[in-house]
Structure 1
Amino acid sequence: MAAQSSGKTDDLSTLFATSFKYRQNNKDGDVKTGLLSKALKLDHNRTIVDTTACATFTELIATGGPYVIGTQLRFTPDGGNITAIDTIAATTGNWMFDAAKTLSYVKTEDWSTVPEASRSDRKTLQAAADAYLDMWSDSSAKAKVPWGNPCTRTEGSMHVTPDCRSGAPSGGGTKNSDRRYVIDETVGSCDVLVAFGGRQPDSHEFRLVGGKLVLVHTVTV
């Protein structure tokens, strides 16, 4: 966040592991010339932590950029060094993009800690995310999604509530591939960076409470 706000990666780079890799919108790149080299005033930030996979996912919104950003960081097992930065960054002209509207929607979303009795384990969270993402290519997947009611889906300038099933696909399309997961059981969240339809850079984040899907948030380039 400090690097993105300043547009300088000098301090951040001291944490890079020797095998560090930078990826932006599903393409390998150079962190020195990527999005982190652009100073942005951040209007929103939220981070989940995966203590099993040693990874984090951070959601950023900069209405003055404008950008809506989803970034996964991966760390060495001791958490001391960053092995990878993997960013999906949507801006003007991208699908359903409107940073100001997205900001207004996410301000209404509850991503607080889920009481232990209502938490799902890692396997359940990933299975729910996979079932949702499989709907585009598998006609049976919709029945496997643990739909909650109410459930809210935020996709850029589109806000679907109280039924996330509205507009959901029923197979016949191309598989959403190259899935990279960050899972935080404490907030019931699973974020997946994917090649949507096998090609479009995309982040889908899901929140389950009591085993039911209650929030879906997407960033699509």
Structure 2
Amino acid sequence: MLQTSIWRALTTFSWTINAVSSADCTREGLLATAKSYVDAQTAGKVSGLKLATANFTYQQNNKVSDINKGLLSTAYKIDLSRSTADTVACASYTMWISSSGSKPYVVGTQIRHANNDTATISLIDTVAATTGDLFFNATKTLGYIKTEDWSNINSTGSRPSRELLKKVGDGYLDMWTDSKAADSIPWGTDCERVEGSSYTNPCGKSLPHGGSTKANGNRRYVIDEVIGSVDVLCEFTSLGPWPDSHEIRVIDGKVKYVHTITVMKM
């Protein structure tokens, strides 16, 4: 009888431990942390972020940096921000634009969480473009992007798969080295492409078809099936050692929006 009671107690304890260790990474938790990041950037105060006490990394323009000396240490008036969530990778992507002041910015940031725990941040990974970077004009970029529809795809049957979104993201970055990559992407007929502040419609016009021998590497993904988007931070090695963000949205199986942030100064 005593052995049975002990076995039941141990079983219950083991189940409890396993339940805690396999906690779900929730969309709500990811987006709440993304909002805290935007709030911290608006205030210019890192103290508003719940950073992991061990093994936290801050990376800005593909270089590991001191967060207290980075972009987050300065307050910016943010004209527009938008976040997506990847519950599989336990990561979020936030794009924000500050078009006023002496130094405007267009920024893409991936935030990652270890052990599916959205209560603390293990990595902040930022690509930040400003005056002098590729096609940079924050006011023009803001004008294009603020008119876009990035609402949730509520019908689960209409959402693109994770596999398709990653394939589209990789296909786009492969266009500079693979002559067939551009034709493998399902372009929409009314697709808008905003590269810095350079606008193209439809997206499938004027695309590269290979030519470079250097692949765009160091790719980091945030994939959100609910929004139908993929963001890839990378090094745009095919043209130069440039920190870069490529974000793509797919609607009804076709590419609808493409955004790029490319930093040319190092």
Q: Given the two structures, how large is their TM-score scaled by the length of structure 1?
A: 0.96
Partner of 1:207: 249
Report the CA distance between 1:78 and its aligned residue: 2.2
The question of 1:85 aligning with 2:145 is answered: no
Q: State the partner residue of 1:68.
A: 106
1:219 aligns with 2:261: yes
Runs of 4+ off more than 3 Å? none
Distance in 1 (CA, whole Å) between partners of 2:222 and 2:172 is 16
Residue 117 of structure 1 deviates from its aligned partner by 2.6
For each residue in 1:175-215, what CA deviation from the matched residue of structure 2 results, as whole angstroms up to 9, or x when unmatched? 11110000100010000001012510110000001111111
Q: Distance in 1 between matches of 2:86 and 2:104?
A: 28
Shift of 1:79: 1.6
2:135 maps to 96
In structure 1, stretches of 5+ residues that fail to align are: none
Q: Give the aligned partner of residue 142 of structure 1.
A: 182
Q: What is the aligned partner in structure 1 of residue 233 from structure 2?
A: 193
Who is 2:217 aligned against? 177
Alignment partners' CA distance in 1, 2:200 and 2:157 = 28
Deviations 1:135-192 (A, max 9, x none): 011111112111111111011221111x112221000112111100001000100000
TM-aligned CA deviation for residue 66 of structure 1: 0.2
Check conservation: 1:61, 1:99, Cα contact below 8 A.
yes
Q: 2:52 aligns with which of 10, 16, 20?
A: 16
Aligned residues: 219
2:81 is equivalent to residue 45 of structure 1: yes
Q: Conserved in 2, the CA contact under 8 Å of 1:17 and 1:82?
A: no
Q: 1-side partners of 2:152 and 2:39: how far apart? A: 25
Normalised to the residue count of structure 2, the TM-score between the two structures is 0.80
Cα distance in 1 between the residues matched to 2:204 and 2:52: 41
CA RMSD of aligned residues (A): 1.1
Higher helix share: 2
Q: Which one-letter code corresponds to 2:89 in the other structure?
A: A
The 1-side partners of 2:206 and 2:215 are apart by 18
Report the Cα distance in structure 1 between the residues aligned to 2:91 and 2:47, rounded to whole angstroms: 21
Measure, in 2, the Cα distance between the counterparts of 1:95 and 1:147.
24
Find the aligned partners of 2:243 and 2:148 in 1 and give their Cα distance. Answer: 23
More strand by share: 1
Q: Equivalents in 2 of 1:36, 1:16: separation in Å?
A: 16
Structure 2: any 5+ residue segments left out of the alignment?
A: 1-37
